Structure formats: C-alpha cells, structure tokens
Amino acid sequence: MNKMGLKAVVVTVLLAAALSYYIYTPMPDAIQEPWKLMAVDGFDSTMVALVGSRSPAGVVPGVKISDITFAGVPVRVYEPPAGGEGHLRRGLMYLHGGGWAFGSGKLSLNVCRYRLFPEVLFPEPFLDCVVAAKHFLSPEVLDKYAIDPERVAVSGDSAGGNLAAAVAQEVATDDSLSVKFSVQALIYPVLQALDFNTPSYVQNRNMAILPRQVMVQFWLQYLGADISLRPQLIANNHSALQHSALTPELRSRLDWTSLLSQKFKKSYKPVVVERDSHGLLKKIPGLLDTRSSPLLAGPEVLAKCPRTYILTCEFDVLRDEGLMYARRLKDAGVSVTSDYYEDGFHGCLSFISWPLDFDVGKRALRSYMTWLQNNL
C-alpha cells in the first residue's frame, strides 16, 4: 500500500472510531481536535499497530543503543556521541508508564524495563527499579558511560512517574549511596490510592485514555487484590474514618481541601466514609505503603528529595495528586517546577506524530525537555 493509500485508510478508520465514540462520550470543549482523542480511545490495538507504523522504535541517528541488564534488570541504554576527552555526559534513568502492566523499555526512549503484572506484583516492580537505579548510580557505571555524577536524573510518566518518585525517595534517604539523583522529572505521575474522589478523579471519571475505573483496576492488579473490590475503592470505603492506621497526620498528606488551590477544588466536596465493612486495608496493605504511594511520605523524606519537575493535565484523573505532591515538596523546602496544561490530557506526550498528533503534546514535550536541559 502506498503512502497516500495508507493515509486514506487511517483517516477513514479514525473518523469512524471517533464518530462511534462521540455518540457515547462527548469531549470537553477545551480539548483541541477532540475527534483525534476520541479515535485514540475508540479503536483497537490492531489499528494502533497500523497508524503507528513509523520509524523503528529506538532508532536515533548517531546514538549507540544497547539492550543489556543493570544488576539483572533489563534496560536499554542510549549513548550520544562522546564530547571529547574529559567531557562528561548527563545521565537520565527513565521509567515507562502503562499501569504497571503494559509497556516496555524497547518501545521508546526508555531505560528501565521493570517486570510487569501479571508476572509480578508490588513491590517487585519498585524493587527492580531500585536495583537498576543503584547500579546506574554506582561510580563504576557512571565512569563507564562518562556520566557526570552531579548531573543524573530519574524520570517517568504515569505508572513510571510513580516508580520514579518512589525510587527518588528511596535513593534520597539511603545514606550508603555516594551518588544520588540531582533532579526528578515526573510526567502525570500516579502518587496515591486512598482517595478516588479528588476533584480531578470526579471531573474526569469518564475521560478518554484513563477513566477512573481503569486506574482503580490498575491499582488493584498492582497490589495483588481482587478486581471485584473496585466499587468499594471508587466509593472510598478503604479510607473510612474507622481505620486507626489512617491517622490525622497521614490523612493530611493527601487532603486536597487544604493542598489544592480553589481553581482546582472548584465546588467539589470530599467523599468521607464512616465505616468499612470489608476490611479493605487488611486485604490490601500496599495501599498504605509509601513505596506504592509516594504522596504519603513524611516531610522528613520529602525534604531530602532532589529538585523536581511535575507535569499535570486538566483532563486527567491524576491531576490533583501531582499538584498536591508539588505543594508538599515545596512546603518541605524542595525546588519545584509545576507545569500544568489546561488543555492537556493523560498520555498527551505520547501523541506527537501524525496522524495522532496533538499540539498540547508537542508543547508539553518541549517544556519537559527544556526543563531538563536547564536543570540537569
């Protein structure tokens, strides 16, 4: 099929997918070219393969690419040309998204390919990333790749942003490490699982790409819990007032009524449940683990975190936890850049090439890259 024929097929299918989707789920007015977003959410994986037929993943002119392991964890290493004798590079460890269940370090410019559901459950993906990070930060490895130990970052998107934040906390508080991350860059990160009724969760509960029920399912899978518990978590029964483990101090760490500005609180009200008759916190102890929910970390941990960039989008269930994390890090004395997109949606940075290209994705990617250029 020639290029024009491929374009015709793709456009026809995208329009059909968009039309069928729009019948059931209208898009917010602020979304530019909403038919594209409808199409993204509407067609199946076979069509994704068709419209995604671009250059082979990972092919970057002039960059050496190696698929190896860091202490047993599969990684893909991208090495730009050396800058001459004595020139040190900057280093970036990137953790891919995909709800801890999908994705691969071989599909894009990702570094760490941690094990996924259903092969493993929490905390194994986190532990994989910690092992890989400590290996990457070792003086021997940094010297091998000519990386400046003062200019090493950890970054990730969505579930990868969750892992990046958790790994950054782990590394920052590990006194045995001589080299630590100098910055962390989190792209619409997943940061907590105790409140699925924040304003952004309620506002975007049926939003394309990542509706609330899908995010809750990702959490249940990651924490090894029964999917049938999803309605209980959506109702916030797992964070009922009866739970003594949820102390006032712990609740304050994700209290959106005090951590969000009025712009984001709008007219939404907290969903607070008195009693949990299902014993959810005992069934799912990972809900209270800071390794799965970095937003729950105490101020003494946050104060040790590196300079931070957090990207959030208006049309994303995860918006508020990213904003709350930015606020709490700032309150702990960390330098934070909060990059918010009023017309953004979850996953927008993945859609920057024809035919599913969005201007907001291109703007957000440029901003992310510029921040790294200026801060790493």
**Least trusted range by pLDDT, from 24-38, 76-90, 122-136, 231-245:** 24-38
CB 331 within 8 A of CB 299: yes
Number of folded domains in the chain?
A: 1
CA 324 to chain centre: 15
pLDDT at 139: 96
Amino acid in the structure at residue 230: R
For residue 266, what is the domain's CATH number? 3.40.50.1820
Q: How confident is the model at residue 39 (pLDDT cuts 50, 70, 90)?
A: low
Quick check: is 144 in a domain? yes
Quick check: is 344 in a domain? yes
Within 8 A by CB and 6+ apart from 246, the residues are 194, 239, 281, 288
Burial of 284-314, coded b for 16+ CB within 10 Å and e otherwise, reads bebbbbbbbbbbbbeeebbebbbbbbbbbbb
158 among known catalytic residues: yes
3-state DSSP assignment of residue 218: helix
pLDDT of 242 over the 60 cut: yes
Quick check: is 15 in a domain? no
Q: Is 81 exposed, middle or buried (0-12, 13-18, 19+ CB in 10 A)?
A: exposed
Quick check: is 332 in a domain? yes
Within 8 A by CB and 6+ apart from 29, the residues are none
pLDDT at 105: 47
CB 202 within 8 A of CB 315: no
Share of residues in the chain with pLDDT > 70 (%): 82
Which one from 155, 157, 158, 182 is the annotated catalytic residue? 158
Output the six-digit token pair for 150: 């003062």
For the stretch 177-211, pLDDT in tens is 999 999 999 999 999 999 999 999 999 999 989 99
Which one from 128, 195, 276, 316 is the annotated catalytic residue? 316
Task: Tell me which of 53 and 140 has the higher pLDDT.
Answer: 140
Which pTM does this prediction carry?
0.88
Give the domain range for residue 58: 35-375
Which one from 128, 292, 346, 350 is the annotated catalytic residue? 346
346 among known catalytic residues: yes
The mean of the pLDDT values for the chain is: 86
Output the six-digit token pair for 130: 């910690």
Residue 118's CB: how many other CB atoms inside 10 A? 8
316 among known catalytic residues: yes
